Amino acid sequence: MNITLTTKYRDEIYDFRTSDTKQYTHCFHSYPAMMIPQVAERILSEYGKDARLLFDPYCGTGTSLVEANLKGIESIGTDINPLARLIAKVKTTVINLVDLDYYLRDFSSFILSVNLGAKISNVSIPYFKNIDYWFKKETQLSLAIIKDYIKNIDNPDIRDFFYCAFSETVRDVSLTRNSEFKLYRMKHNKIQEFNPDVLSVMVQKLVRNRNGMKEYIALKRNNSKALIYDFNTVYRIPESIIQLGSVDIVITSPPYGDSRTTVAYGQFSRLANQWLGFEEMNEVDTRSMGGGRFKEFKEFGFEMLDCALKEIAKKDNKRGYDVISFYVDYEKSINNISKVIKNGGIVAYVVGNRKVKGIQIPNDEITQEFFERNGFGHIKTIIREIPNKRMPKRNSPTNIVGLTDTTMNYEYIVVMKKDE
């Protein structure tokens, strides 16, 4: 009798339908397409028992770095978005709660004095294009007062902790429609009614994050750390940071397409980045995978991908080039990442399949193929349902605002092992 064992299957255990995805420091800051911490935790429990070093090449807000550190595994992450790096740093850096509470008390008495009418002098509102379009004047003043306070905190880790809460405050009190990943302004009638209490919003975030930090400290009984960088694996991985063959496990969720047509991480973060004065923020979407435009047709020697690309190009040549640009970068990145993984090391890529011009692109199969070309064997692909719309169901594959598609209802966890 022939038994066929399938290595790609739906596993409801990985849906984590009732799990709290905002435990400990995972509650610190929202971000598009965040990984579910439980996925990272389960993969680590299954494949990372002896791991000493985890690498996340698209670490975003550091979900897998946090989970690795909780298990005593050292971690390295990289992301081209300065806001993501700030959040990842704050989520993984243990802060002395006594010191933190001192600043929290000081900040709340500062707020009280502002509310009681204390004169705050020399507050400078940053100038950036369209600031008046995105923030009411009163909101700008309150944000500037907070930013000024934070600037004077002398402990750098506590200062970043405050900046992280400030960044989410900026987004919440701006005139953006917060349900959208891209920047869309609220409707006129909503704007008139929208008068957020900026100082209270900031305090709420600080208190929530302080409690998250307390939980994190209680769980973390080891000294492991996360190091967070800004290198782009499409081009290189500096050997001074990660040596060849040194990584035990990679757990990551890469972008699933270029940021113009999928998740615009740069756009999502733009207002916070502008308030924080991160200068590189303009480059986030162009440095993102697929950000440089490829101008000729290319075949990858993988039928599934090549057929999809041809079909897309037939319908819309320019769009076809955008998609090709993404896979050119994706393959280069996988080639570089493969080199730093130990023989016998594991990669787990959480990817979403996407539709462009109505044509499905199987990112899971493509990921598997690209790693196989680098000497990896496929262990399994788990199909998980995305229960709570954390992935961009509002992804607009037609590029028409508000027209959504359901291509992102499932995601795929592709697990591969480097040959011994």
Ligand X SMILES: C[S@@+](CC[C@H](N)C(=O)[O-])C[C@H]1O[C@@H](n2cnc3c(N)ncnc32)[C@H](O)[C@@H]1O
Per CB under 6 A, residues contacting ligand X are 31, 33-35, 58, 60-61, 63, 78-81, 84, 232-234, 253, 255, 265, 288-289
Indicate if the alpha-carbon torsion angle 356, 379, 415, 288 is positive or negative.
negative
Closest listed residue to residue 399, CA positions, set 362, 358, 370: 358
CA atoms of 297 and 99, how far apart (whole Å): 57
Q: Phi/psi at 408 (nearest 5 deg)?
A: -105, 25
Min. distance of Cβ 145 from ligand X in angstroms?
29
Q: Which is nearer to ligand X, 163 or 330 (CB)?
A: 330
Q: Which is nearer to ligand X, 55 or 135 (CB)?
A: 55
CA atoms of 286 and 280, how far apart (whole Å): 11
Instruction: Return the beta strands (E) in 30-118 as ranges.
Output: 53-56, 74-78
CA atoms of 62 and 220, how far apart (whole Å): 16
Largest CA distance in the chain: 84
Min. distance of Cβ 31 from ligand X in angstroms?
5
Q: Are 231 and 57 in contact (CB under 8 A)?
A: no
Q: Phi/psi at 411 (nearest 5 deg)?
A: -130, 165
Q: Which is nearer to ligand X, 142 or 233 (CB)?
A: 233
The residue count of the chain comes to 420
Q: Which is nearer to ligand X, 139 or 285 (CB)?
A: 285
Min. distance of Cβ 284 from ligand X in angstroms?
6
Min. distance of Cβ 29 from ligand X in angstroms?
9
Q: Are 96 and 242 in contact (CB under 8 A)?
A: no
Quickly list H helices, 280-418: 284-287, 303-315, 317-340, 363-372
The type of residue at 68 is: A
Q: Which is nearer to ligand X, 35 or 111 (CB)?
A: 35
Min. distance of Cβ 85 from ligand X in angstroms?
9
Q: Which is nearer to ligand X, 61 or 224 (CB)?
A: 61
The alpha carbon of 128 is separated from its chain's Cα centroid by a whole number of angstroms, namely: 25
Q: b or e along 101-117 (b: 16 or more beta carbons within 10 Å of the residue's beta carbon)?
A: eebbeebeebbeebeee
Min. distance of Cβ 83 from ligand X in angstroms?
9
Taking residue 205's Cβ as centre, other Cβ atoms within 10 Å add up to: 21
Min. distance of Cβ 228 from ligand X in angstroms?
11
Min. distance of Cβ 206 from ligand X in angstroms?
21
Q: Which is nearer to ligand X, 73 or 175 (CB)?
A: 73
Q: Which is nearer to ligand X, 308 or 348 (CB)?
A: 348
**Residue number closest to ligand X, CB atom:** 60
The type of residue at 249 is: I
Min. distance of Cβ 222 from ligand X in angstroms?
22
Three-state DSSP state, 169: helix
Beta bridge partners of 380: 415
Q: Which is nearer to ligand X, 35 or 359 (CB)?
A: 35
